[in-house]
Structure 1
Amino acid sequence: MSQSYNSIKPNVIDDEMLQKAVEEQWPEDIGTLAKSEGVDLKNVTELQLGFRNILQIDNLWQFENLTKLQLDNNIIEKIEALESLVHLVWLDLSFNNIEVIEGLDTLVKLQDLSLYNNRISKIEHMDTLQELQIFSIGKNNLTALEDVVYLRRFKKLRTLNLTGNPFCEEEQYVLFVVAHIPDLVYLDFKRVSDTTRELAVSKYHYLIDPLEHEEAQALAQLEEKLAKQKELEYHKRAFVEYLNGSFLFDSLYAEDTEAAKLAYLPGVDDLLQAYRKDFVSVCENLFNYGLKEYEKREAEVSEFYEGLHEALTANQQEGSKIILDFENQNKERLDEIHHATSYNIAESKREEYNEDILQLSETLMTLEIQTADQLEELIKDFEKNIAVIASTFIENVKGMMAQCRDLENRHHEKLLEISINTLEKSVKNELDEDLPDDVRELLVDKTTLVNMVNASHNVHLLKINMRECDILTNAYRWQASVTGKAFQDEIDRNRNRVKEIFQYIDNLQEQLDNSLQEQLDSIELLEPPE
């Protein structure tokens, strides 16, 4: 079934093998040129490495844009080192010694995969290959027909080759496969007939119906999960993720074991519930405010880029009109030079035309300067507006987070008061409540009890401050990013536009010089020698 390398010297994929493979698959003239000048492997899209006694896949990371890879008829034992080939569409690993399907996770564009004639005993580890249309895994060691059910996840799979596996000997093999992969068009090199499909559905509907129900439930769960992820990403862009509920409050107590003990003290539970209610209310106010401010930020950015686009469009239209008018005149000027009957006339026309080119250059550069000034004003106004939006948001966030701290401080004061009163009652044996032993152990020393309550309070304040810091940091970072991008984009645009103008003017002058020289040459040929 697979190959042995006991009598064959294994090869490794080194630079020499790769260079040779690239040269061999190109036409002779191009291959010779590539050999002399070298090949940029990033430009290679297809690579044939079959029949080379390769034992281990390696050194392919340089082929960033590879779409087709042949590694058939080697002695490869493991699928590996393919993670960088993210554009791969076609992969042939047939006639090797592979035992496990693995190492394909990043090949999300793969459409055609051949693992024919290997030693594979299970179909697995292919979940990310959702573009798979053609799959050949014939002549392997597949014994469990149930493995075929795994292939249901590939909704685009139309061609499947399983022939030569042990489970193909089972009587109902074809019907089982067709029933479980209903959209299959070709199985084992034969077209699936409507009759076969109907028989398959009739025979195995008792398996397919519950399977489809499970898949529908799984799909619904996945869609719900993706919707939640999308919603969370939206909240993160608004800088208020996890503030629409009790997450922040719960995080204050997540690792506070001492606070959990203090909750047993008389009156603390009611105090804690009231604190929680008020704290969560502030968080939800902040959350809703954050979403509104996010929409305001997005609207401001969108409005700015719309204005920018309008200004650039007007500039491009005016520039195009100037160039079009010039090129209409340009044709006339070149015709005049071309039909000049003497050197003096041609030279005179050249000087006139050269003046026109210089005037065009000045006009285009003046237009670009005016545009750059206009865009600079737009960007400065945008920067001011963004600064106002950001500073308003930051100040309001500070105010709401201060409310959280105030709630924590008031809760701390009341908790400290209850704790000390309970301690005093405990010392006088006036405590009626039956408290757990670990809680009673706290009611021994006032200093220890106060320190514990204060430590818990400090942890709570720290977590509140950290959440506030996260929001403010994100706001500052957004402000710097969005304005910095606007300025940098304009610098790049202006630089490119000036470069375009210079290149255009240089081309016109070169065209003028060539036209003049051609006409002078023709004049010399016409004039008789003295």
Structure 2
Amino acid sequence: MSQSYNSIKPNVIDDEMLQKAVEERLPEDIGKLAKREGIDFKDVTELQLSFRNILQIDNLWQFENLTKLQLDNNIIEKIEALESLVHLVWLDLSFNNIEVIEGLDTLVKLQDLSLYNNRISKIEHMDTLQELQIFSIGKNNLTALEDVVYLRRFKKLRTLNLTGNPFCEEEQYVLFVVAHIPDLVYLDFKLVSDTTRELAVSKYHYLIDPLEHEEAQALAQLEEKLAKQKELEYHKRLDEIHHATSYNIAESKRAEYNEDILQLSETLMTLEMQTVDQLEELIKDFEKNIAVIASTFIENVKGMMAQCRDLENRHHEKLLEISINTLEKSVKNELDEDLPDDVRELLVDKTTLVNMVNTSHNVHLLKIDMRECDILSNTYRWQASVTGKAFQNEIDRNRNRVKEIFQYIDNLQEQLDSIELLEPPE
């Protein structure tokens, strides 16, 4: 799984290796010119150091504008000395001897990370990589399937490779991963199908629902904490105006903070409009789902009522047949038992008997029709009420949020305007 260096002389990343690596990537004519005039490592954006028997990462601080770095197929044991590469977007550390994920904290722009074929046993220490879209950590020593839950924090992650790890042998491996990373498009080089996604959600919803609740609470707490920090920062800035050493400085700071308030207002309103658009799409999807539920229920009701009518028709035919037979026996005095007086009153003649049975049949059919009408009407009202309430709740939420934004901005503006500046010098 990893590279051995028992019989290989380890190399260090020195200036000579870096110079050579950069020159190799240049066209021949430019490479010759670079050798004569030298290369400024600050201008290099891509660096390939593959297959060089590197044991330790070092001496890369000069490549401050690097966006792509290949360190694959070496004998590296530790991820280190990358903190200055803050513009890195693509990093390949595959086929090395790395045991722990670390040293990536400053790489906040990283989108593509490969740790394929190493000795890693736990997914960790990657919290700052919020731009991560592609992550390959196949052929490592991952044994706990629960470690995959850690990857939920990467909201932009779309491609994931885990193949070759011990936990991939578990029967429900694919469904577990897809359930916990719902926006995943490719898993182990295969497109995640809608069928697989539905099965995953169905099987693991009892695990996902509590996770989503906990994440929502954590996000709310974080937003509250950030809001308090921003408020403290604002008050500190007001204090700066109070304690400004001159009128000009105070006036300059007040103008600066006034501009910040306007920008904050625009930002908050923009975010609210984005939220409105997102919720509008969600509510439309909700409305469609409710319509499907209502339609399915209505079709089921109609089917059941059709069965009721069919049973009533059969009952009517049987009852009419029995009634006529009974009437004929009564006329011939062939009845085996005495009938109640109210029944004998019906056995006057065939016309009267048929009319009575038909009337009973019509009453039963009417009751079935009325019951069906009541159920359908209630269903339509429920559908309209649920969707209408969802739209109205969003309208109310939006109005309240806009009102809160205006009140907050007005409060900030009033506090700023209430500060009395020192009199300007005459």
CA contact (8 A) 1:57 1:81 kept: yes
CA contact (8 A) 1:68 1:89 kept: yes
Q: CA deviation at 1:131?
A: 0.1
CA contact (8 A) 2:247 2:422 kept: no
Q: CA deviation at 1:380?
A: 59
CA contact (8 A) 2:247 2:421 kept: no
Q: CA deviation at 1:58?
A: 0.1
Partner secondary structure for residue 91 of structure 2: strand
- Aligned mates of 2:259, 2:113 — CA distance in 1: 65
Is residue 329 of structure 2 the alignment partner of residue 433 of structure 1?
A: no
- Aligned mates of 1:403, 1:389 — CA distance in 2: 21
Q: CA deviation at 1:497?
A: 47
Q: CA deviation at 1:366?
A: 45
Structure-2 change in CA distance of 1:132 and 1:356 (3 Å): closer
- Aligned mates of 1:80, 1:448 — CA distance in 2: 102
Structure-2 change in CA distance of 1:410 and 1:48 (3 Å): farther
Structure-2 change in CA distance of 1:190 and 1:452 (3 Å): closer
- Aligned mates of 1:33, 1:82 — CA distance in 2: 29
Structure-2 change in CA distance of 1:462 and 1:346 (3 Å): same
- Aligned mates of 1:139, 1:92 — CA distance in 2: 14
- Give ranges in structure 1 of 5+ residues lacking alignment: 236-331, 511-518
Structure-2 change in CA distance of 1:384 and 1:335 (3 Å): same
Instruction: Compare 487-496 and 30-39 and name the one that shifted more.
Output: 487-496
Tell me which residue corresponds to 1:422: 326
Q: CA deviation at 1:49?
A: 0.3
Structure-2 change in CA distance of 1:218 and 1:444 (3 Å): farther
Q: CA deviation at 1:105?
A: 0.1
- Aligned mates of 2:234, 2:336 — CA distance in 1: 51
- Aligned mates of 2:311, 2:232 — CA distance in 1: 27
- Give ranges in structure 2 of 5+ residues lacking alignment: none
- Aligned mates of 2:234, 2:370 — CA distance in 1: 21
Alignment of 1:274-423 (within 5 A): none
Structure-2 change in CA distance of 1:409 and 1:157 (3 Å): same
Q: CA deviation at 1:127?
A: 0.1
> How high is the TM-score relative to the length of structure 2?
0.56
Q: CA RMSD in A?
A: 23.6
Q: CA deviation at 1:476?
A: 69
Q: CA deviation at 1:147?
A: 0.1
CA contact (8 A) 1:343 1:520 kept: no
Q: CA deviation at 1:426?
A: 121
Q: CA deviation at 1:521?
A: 71
Structure-2 change in CA distance of 1:522 and 1:496 (3 Å): closer
CA contact (8 A) 2:251 2:421 kept: no
- Aligned mates of 1:177, 1:199 — CA distance in 2: 12
Partner secondary structure for residue 34 of structure 1: helix
Structure-2 change in CA distance of 1:500 and 1:451 (3 Å): same
CA contact (8 A) 2:139 2:164 kept: yes
- Aligned mates of 2:256, 2:206 — CA distance in 1: 90
Structure-2 change in CA distance of 1:384 and 1:112 (3 Å): closer
Q: CA deviation at 1:45?
A: 0.1
Structure-2 change in CA distance of 1:504 and 1:232 (3 Å): closer
* C-alpha distance after superposition, 1:77-128 (max 9, x if no partner): 0000000000000000000000000000000000000000000000000000
Q: CA deviation at 1:433?
A: 106
Instruction: Compare 352-361 and 39-48 and name the one that shifted more.
Output: 352-361
Structure-2 change in CA distance of 1:401 and 1:39 (3 Å): farther
Q: CA deviation at 1:346?
A: 61
Q: CA deviation at 1:343?
A: 65
Instruction: Compare 366-375 and 138-147 and name the one that shifted more.
Output: 366-375
CA contact (8 A) 1:343 1:523 kept: no
Tell me which residue corresponds to 2:405: 501
Q: CA deviation at 1:463?
A: 86
- Aligned mates of 1:369, 1:217 — CA distance in 2: 23
- Aligned mates of 1:416, 1:230 — CA distance in 2: 84
CA contact (8 A) 2:242 2:419 kept: no
Tell me which residue corresponds to 2:88: 88
Q: CA deviation at 1:232?
A: 1.1
Structure-2 change in CA distance of 1:476 and 1:414 (3 Å): same
Alignment of 1:447-458 (within 5 A): none
- Aligned mates of 1:43, 1:415 — CA distance in 2: 97
CA contact (8 A) 2:254 2:416 kept: no
Q: CA deviation at 1:149?
A: 0.1
Structure-2 change in CA distance of 1:92 and 1:495 (3 Å): same
Structure-2 change in CA distance of 1:390 and 1:215 (3 Å): closer
- Aligned mates of 2:134, 2:213 — CA distance in 1: 26
- Aligned mates of 2:293, 2:405 — CA distance in 1: 38
Q: CA deviation at 1:181?
A: 0.1
* C-alpha distance after superposition, 1:29-50 (max 9, x if no partner): 1111001110000000000000
Structure-2 change in CA distance of 1:124 and 1:462 (3 Å): farther
Structure-2 change in CA distance of 1:436 and 1:228 (3 Å): farther
Q: CA deviation at 1:233?
A: 1.0
Is residue 372 of structure 2 the alignment partner of residue 468 of structure 1?
A: yes
Q: CA deviation at 1:227?
A: 0.6
Instruction: Compare 479-488 and 60-69 and name the one that shifted more.
Output: 479-488
* C-alpha distance after superposition, 1:123-166 (max 9, x if no partner): 00000000000000000000000000000000000000000000
Q: CA deviation at 1:334?
A: 60
* C-alpha distance after superposition, 1:215-252 (max 9, x if no partner): 000000010011111111111xxxxxxxxxxxxxxxxx
* C-alpha distance after superposition, 1:467-504 (max 9, x if no partner): 99999999999999999999999999999999999999
Partner secondary structure for residue 135 of structure 1: strand
> How high is the TM-score relative to the length of structure 1?
0.45
Q: CA deviation at 1:390?
A: 67
- Aligned mates of 1:210, 1:369 — CA distance in 2: 29
- Aligned mates of 1:399, 1:438 — CA distance in 2: 37
Query: Number of matched residues?
Result: 426
Runs of 4+ off more than 2 Å = 332-510, 519-530
- Aligned mates of 1:422, 1:224 — CA distance in 2: 83
